[in-house]
Structure 1
């Protein structure tokens, strides 16, 4: 059965959609810069004690932060300039990021369950309470927030895509007419 994804007009029920997305993107960019600076600082402080594996992990995290920064830059540019193409790129990136995050969190939780079966029964409750339940809670919260954000981006993308389309409703026949308006510079030059 097919379900419609809702079209939202407001971000967090108070901001207009585009301004809410811009606010969200700017806050995310600031947090990305803080994470990037903390990772560089961690490498600077811990470099004498770091192993090859930790260098690989830190460089992968820094690469992901940079990629995330670039895609959120696409969102900021597309929201300011009303560029539908960049908004679509960011929309697809958000969906891929949500899928990859869920796969990563499932892998993390799976590894803890494998660890539980290898330890004694008295430590199982401690591991569940300290590692697995917070990871499951964080995964659920992350999924809900990211899914809401994807719906917001999709709503803005559809608004931008349909901005040049005007609809007329005839009450006499209850028919809907759609007119697509496009501006061509060549026709304006020929008229002048």
Structure 2
């Protein structure tokens, strides 16, 4: 069964689509900056406290920080594309958002796995670790939500801009038929 994705005319049922898209781009940028700050602190903690067999956590922490930096860069790219009303920039951003959504899901799973391993190594669970996991889960789920909604908004705006770039073209079939008749009649009289 084939389903169709919705095409939004407005963002959040009240804002114009393009302005809402740009607003969501700014929100996504803010969430990415918060995630970058959080993971920089986690990386500092992992690199300074744990020495030895926590290579997986060190690699994951560094990779996740780099990922959020790249995502913040492309959030700026989306904002610029929204401001300039560029179909090409929004189309590139749309494809980028889909690819990064898949990566967010993979990285989110790896972060959860790493957090569970970190807690299992400890002999008792303290409140700090529970807050750490809750904060990371909230950031990850909010970024996934924003990413999915952003994909749908970007797609809707790209469709709208593509239609505007093509322009509305009316075809006057009656005039075409008349010109064809005139050509046929002149050819018949000439022969």
TM-score (norm 1): 0.62
Question: Aligned residue for 1:99?
Answer: 102
Are the structure 2 counterparts of residues 77 and 45 from structure 1 closer, same or farther at C-alpha, using a change threshold of 3 Å? same
- Whole-angstrom CA distance in 2 between matches of 1:103 and 1:45: 23
Bigger relative contact order, structure 1 or 2, given CA contacts below 8 A and separation 6+?
A: 2
Are the structure 2 counterparts of residues 63 and 156 from structure 1 closer, same or farther at C-alpha, using a change threshold of 3 Å? same
CA contact (8 A) 2:82 2:90 kept: yes
- Whole-angstrom CA distance in 2 between matches of 1:64 and 1:8: 29
CA contact (8 A) 2:78 2:89 kept: yes
CA contact (8 A) 2:9 2:17 kept: yes
TM-score (norm 2): 0.62
Question: Aligned residue for 2:168?
Answer: 167
| Superimposed CA distance per residue, residues 95-130 of structure 1 (whole angstroms, 9 cap, x where no aligned partner) | 122333445667889x8xxxxxxxxxxxxxxxxxxx
Equivalent positions of 1:52-67 (< 5 A) are 52-67=55-70
**Aligned residues: CA RMSD:** 3.4
User: If each structure's helix is expressed as a fraction of its own residues, which one has the higher value?
Assistant: 2
User: If each structure's strand is expressed as a fraction of its own residues, which one has the higher value?
Assistant: 1
| Superimposed CA distance per residue, residues 48-104 of structure 1 (whole angstroms, 9 cap, x where no aligned partner) | 213433321111111110111111111101001112222111100111223334456
Higher CA-based Rg: 2
Equivalent positions of 1:69-80 (< 5 A) are 69-80=72-83
Number of positions where the alignment pairs a residue of Structure 1 with one of Structure 2: 148
